[in-house]
């Protein structure tokens, strides 16, 4: 039987505390879009070479790792918010984000099934490039298991407020990468999908910043520094997609990056507009800088992230540390 502190979705509440969060959540309805309606004929394996096909499937499967952890994390967060009596827009906003992550993962699934059926789960590589692409993805997903175990345990270890207040950082990165991919994509499926995904991510960013603002009001300086740490963790977790994999967490084959770059180049050349590492680095730094004053106004120090040229509070993360970060 549930004890008094285990929480329960009943009796629930329909309280609205943050108007900004309510308005952000409400935007989900008019901005709703369907991955089913994208011009899928444009994404046909006949239009691409075998190398281009596996390269597109590779990047989409890399992206799907973060979308999948998003489905899990935001879904779990929605349940936590409901059982612990958070205001109504928090519960509904988090549920809507979980659904958006399903929609993003669905774009990845559909595109992979067209250009490279079975990739990655049931794929049998037939060339060296295919073998390396498949191996890279499996290595990432294996690391993803480690991430997820630690994230799952965080619910009992850290205050909910701390976990919720850190969601915004990944959204800064998400909004940035998808806008870049959408603008660079010449294939109509990818251009359309990533334009819509960017709209979703902008909404996620507005909403998670509204949550942060609410929650930070009642936080101590020590708790605020914990958010800085979460931001650093977020950088490390998202690094394989938004920059290049940080070895603090990611244990990957030695030639991982060499093939990663080769595959990303092929994907970009065939209409899926993945930006180059140097462009991503610059764009990520710019995106953090754009939000810096807002974060600092709330008393939260931005962590130093030397790798992409962000100055700030020194936060040390040792190799093998658990990474408690939130996904896209
Ligand atoms: Fe997403
Ligand atoms: Fe997101």
- Ligand 1 center from residue 4 Cα (angstroms): 35
Ligand nearest, relative to CA of residue 100? 1
Please provide residue 305's backbone torsions phi and psi, each rounded to the nearest 5 degrees: -130, 85
In this structure, are residues 18 and 210 in contact, taking their beta carbons and an 8 Å threshold? yes
- Round to whole Å and give the CA distance between 130 and 15: 52
DSSP-derived letter for residue 16 is -
Interval between CA 67 and ligand 2 midpoint (Å): 8
SS3 at position 310: strand
Cα 22 to middle of ligand 2, angstroms: 17
> Could you state, in chain order, the average pLDDT of each consecutive group of 10 residues for the chain (328 residues)?
71 97 98 98 97 98 97 96 96 98 98 98 98 98 95 90 93 93 98 98 96 95 95 96 96 98 98 97 96 97 97 88 74
d(CA 201, ligand 1 centre) in Å: 7
Place of tokens 């101590």: 220
Q: How far apart are CA 266 and CA 319, in angstroms?
A: 32
User: How far apart are the C-alpha atoms of 107 and 118, rounded to whole Å?
Assistant: 15
Contact 322, 315 (CB under 8 A): no
Ligand nearest to the CA of 326: 2
Measured in angstroms, how far is the CA atom of residue 222 from the centroid of ligand 1?
Answer: 30
Distance 151 CA to ligand 1 centre (A): 17
For the record, the structure tokens of 299 come out as 């008393």
Hey, what are 204's tokens?
């996620």
pLDDT of the residue at 320: 72
d(CA 84, CA 10): 10
Interval between CA 5 and ligand 1 midpoint (Å): 32
pLDDT of residue 104: 98
**What pLDDT sits at residue 317?**
85
Asked if 70 and 135 touch (Cβ cutoff 8 Å), the reply is no
Report yes or no: 294 and 205 within 8 Å, Cβ to Cβ: no
> What pLDDT is stored for residue 199 in this prediction?
97
Phi/psi of residue 115, nearest 5 degrees: -90, -30
User: Closest-lying ligand to the alpha carbon of 93?
Assistant: 2
Ligand positioned closest to the Cα atom of 178: 1
Residue 173 alpha carbon to ligand 2 centre in Å: 9
Q: What is the dihedral of CA 233, 204, 281, 144, to 10 degrees?
A: 40
CA-closest candidate to residue 306, choices 321, 316, 293: 316
Determine the distance separating the centroid of ligand 2 and the alpha carbon of 29, expressed in angstroms: 16
Expressed in angstroms and rounded, the spacing between residue 71 Cα and the centre of ligand 2 is: 10
SS3 94: helix
pLDDT recorded at residue 1: 47
Tokens of 91: 């519960």
Q: Which of 298, 313, 315, 324 is nearest to 221 (CA)?
A: 298
Q: What ligand has the least distance to the C-alpha of 64?
A: 1
| Contact by Cβ (8 Å): 188, 144 | no
Q: What crossing angle do the helices spanning 19-26 and 88-115 adopt, rounded to 10°? A: 30
What pTM, to 2 d.p., does this model score?
A: 0.96
CA 71, chain centre distance (Å): 10
Question: Residue 197 C-alpha to ligand 1 middle, in angstroms?
Answer: 7
Domains and CATH numbers, the chain: 41-308 (1.20.1260.10)
Instruction: Pick the closest to residue 62 from 239, 282, 265 (CA basis).
Output: 239
Residue 11 C-alpha to ligand 1 middle, in angstroms? 31
Q: Which residues surround ligand 1, an ion (CB under 5 A)?
A: 67, 101, 104, 328
Q: What is the pLDDT of residues 134-185, one digit of tens each?
A: 999 999 999 999 999 999 999 989 999 999 999 999 999 999 899 999 999 9
The sign of the torsion formed by the CA atoms of 66, 71, 77, 80 equals negative
- The owner of tokens 């070895």 is 247
Closest by CA to 323, choosing from 65, 76, 136, 143, is 143
How far away, in angstroms, is 79 Cα from ligand 1 center? 19
């Amino acid at each position: 039987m549930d004890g008094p502190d285990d929480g329960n979705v009943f009796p629930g509440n329909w309280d609205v505390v943050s108007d900004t969060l309510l308005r952000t959540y409400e935007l989900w309805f008019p901005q709703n879009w369907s991955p089913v309606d994208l011009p899928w004929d444009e994404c046909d394996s006949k239009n691409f070479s075998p190398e281009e096909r596996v390269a597109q499937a590779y990047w989409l499967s890399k992206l799907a790792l973060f979308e999948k952890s998003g489905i899990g994390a935001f879904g779990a967060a929605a349940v936590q918010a409901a059982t612990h009596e958070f205001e109504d827009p928090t519960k509904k906003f988090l549920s809507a984000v979980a659904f958006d992550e399903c929609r993003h993962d669905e774009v990845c699934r559909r595109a992979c099934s067209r250009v490279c059926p079975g990739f990655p789960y049931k794929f049998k590589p037939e060339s060296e490039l295919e073998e390396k692409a498949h191996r890279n993805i499996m290595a990432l997903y294996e690391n993803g298991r480690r991430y997820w175990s630690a994230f799952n345990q965080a619910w009992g270890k850290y205050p909910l407020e701390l976990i919720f207040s850190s969601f915004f950082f990944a959204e800064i990165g998400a909004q940035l990468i998808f806008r870049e991919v959408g603008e660079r994509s010449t294939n109509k499926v990818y251009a359309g999908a990533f334009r819509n995904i960017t709209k979703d991510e902008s909404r996620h960013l507005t909403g998670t910043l509204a949550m942060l603002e609410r929650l930070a009001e009642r936080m101590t300086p020590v708790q605020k520094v914990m958010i800085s740490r979460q931001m650093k963790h977020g950088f490390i977790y998202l690094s394989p997609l938004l920059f290049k994999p940080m070895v603090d967490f990611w244990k990957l084959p030695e030639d991982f990056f060499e093939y990663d770059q080769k595959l990303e180049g092929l994907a970009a050349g065939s209409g899926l507009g993945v930006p180059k590492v140097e462009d991503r680095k610059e764009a990520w730094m710019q995106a953090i800088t754009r939000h810096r004053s807002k974060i600092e106004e709330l008393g939260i120090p931005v962590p130093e992230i030397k790798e992409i040229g962000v100055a700030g509070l020194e936060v040390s993360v040792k190799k093998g540390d658990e990474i408690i970060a939130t996904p896209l």
